[in-house]
Structure 1
């Protein structure tokens, strides 16, 4: 879809409308590649399709890695803002996400600042690498611009929010989330895999843990590096 503004210059603030969601990108935040995807409506297209497939009215949603708040907004519109908990590590994105949620009437979303890891002690922090253009920022990367961010334990989030849907794009940190079963009424999960950060054994562990929790591969959600799972419904269990 075409942007609402007439300029695609990433040095200027630009507004876009994708799938009925209004997004504002502040000056200097996005690379030309991101601007191009926003202009053509392909920004986070696979993630948006996953949210449309997975999020049902009344479902609680846990989103790890909010970006500009696009998928966050879609999820909030599908269920209700108060049912969505979103976590973002990059501090520069927090006011952008909040503003984009507000302009789409989704002020009730809970937005947390921090990097999610498999385990974290209270008050623990870690160095977070900020990449050019914000996509690709992650824990553990060397060099470049580094900021200290709070660490948030994944399983503590799961127990506190008890999501029906988990959406995640955390640049490889997902490898640490599958050491044990998740204590929540999980119905759908969609994640972007990062095979450059880990090998096939980690992907197998992800699939095996999901299977042990009664989840199966979802071909509708899965696409390229997006891996989707859905609950296996018993004959006496209604979706």
Structure 2
């Protein structure tokens, strides 16, 4: 049956014929596909010229090493996820994404790169939450910029405590792009063998004291500013090793403070 123009126009965006078109790209050796229904012209342009998530990709290249455990908060379409999995091993990567429409996209992109062993969790990472808690997540056009306190179509998503994720995964690297939710994640020291943490700050969404709280907590965990991964709103930290200290072995159980 051929669908008439008026009927197609009445369909939700995700079901329209043009939404079934898939765009394909290759960045830093990672093969990516993206349904047209999720792509804005700006996203497609950045994917096409190689500038898509360039700072995040550089951070992954800087921080992630073979055998490191990686916690990624805000996976997008799985580009940086795949880079981390390729370097550290898929079994060492735990990625969290709140937008339900992106979960199958991430899974497909990991599969096409032979990296399906990544642990992918659907939910919005935040600070302390009660078990089973949910919240409305605002999905913006084109998916970038979606957040718990943003504008757009609201979908109900599980809330996940960052402290539970850290306790379970004991990451050496944390990569974070959660559109302002990071403000609630720095109320107590993370107990893990943390070596690098890179996040995108959102100063328009919280007071400068929140940024100070983040910096102070990182300092309390013997983390210092990392000029290699920091740029603009991207703020990177790395572990401070004493002159006679050796890095923790990868088999460390992570029970001590980072």
Which position in structure 2 is the counterpart of 1:150? 158
Q: 1:88 aligns with which of 79, 83, 97?
A: 97
Which position in structure 2 is the counterpart of 1:6? none
Which position in structure 2 is the counterpart of 1:4? none
Q: 1:201 aligns with which of 209, 212, 215?
A: 209
Deviations 1:103-160 (A, max 9, x none): 0111100000000110111111000000000000000235x30000000011011101
Give the C-alpha shift of residue 237 in structure 1: 1.9
Which position in structure 2 is the counterpart of 1:70? 79
Which position in structure 2 is the counterpart of 1:5? none
Deviations 1:53-105 (A, max 9, x none): 00011100000000010000000011100000000000000000000000011
Give unpaired runs (5+ residues) of structure 2: 1-17, 248-258
Give the C-alpha shift of residue 180 in structure 1: 0.6
Deviations 1:24-74 (A, max 9, x none): 011211100000000000000000000000001110000000001000000
Measure, in 2, the Cα distance between the counterparts of 1:106 and 1:138: 27
Q: 1:227 aligns with which of 227, 231, 235?
A: 235
Measure, in 2, the Cα distance between the counterparts of 1:234 and 1:96: 43
Q: 2:177 aligns with which of 157, 169, 179?
A: 169
Which position in structure 1 is the counterpart of 2:37? 28
Give the C-alpha shift of residue 12 in structure 1: 3.2
Measure, in 2, the Cα distance between the counterparts of 1:76 and 1:11: 28
Measure, in 2, the Cα distance between the counterparts of 1:217 and 1:151: 29
TM-score, normalised to structure 2's length?
0.87
Measure, in 2, the Cα distance between the counterparts of 1:12 and 1:237: 53
1:136 pairs with 2:161: no
Which position in structure 2 is the counterpart of 1:48? 57
SS in 2 for 1:139: coil
Which position in structure 2 is the counterpart of 1:215? 223
TM-score, normalised to structure 1's length?
0.94
Q: Is the Cα contact below 8 Å between 1:10 and 1:35 reproduced in 2? A: no
Measure, in 2, the Cα distance between the counterparts of 1:10 and 1:148: 23
Q: Which is helix-richer, 1 or 2?
A: 2
SS in 2 for 1:196: helix
Which position in structure 2 is the counterpart of 1:107? 116
Give the C-alpha shift of residue 18 in structure 1: 0.4
Q: 2:196 aligns with which of 188, 195, 217?
A: 188
Q: Higher Cα Rg: structure 1 or 2?
A: 2
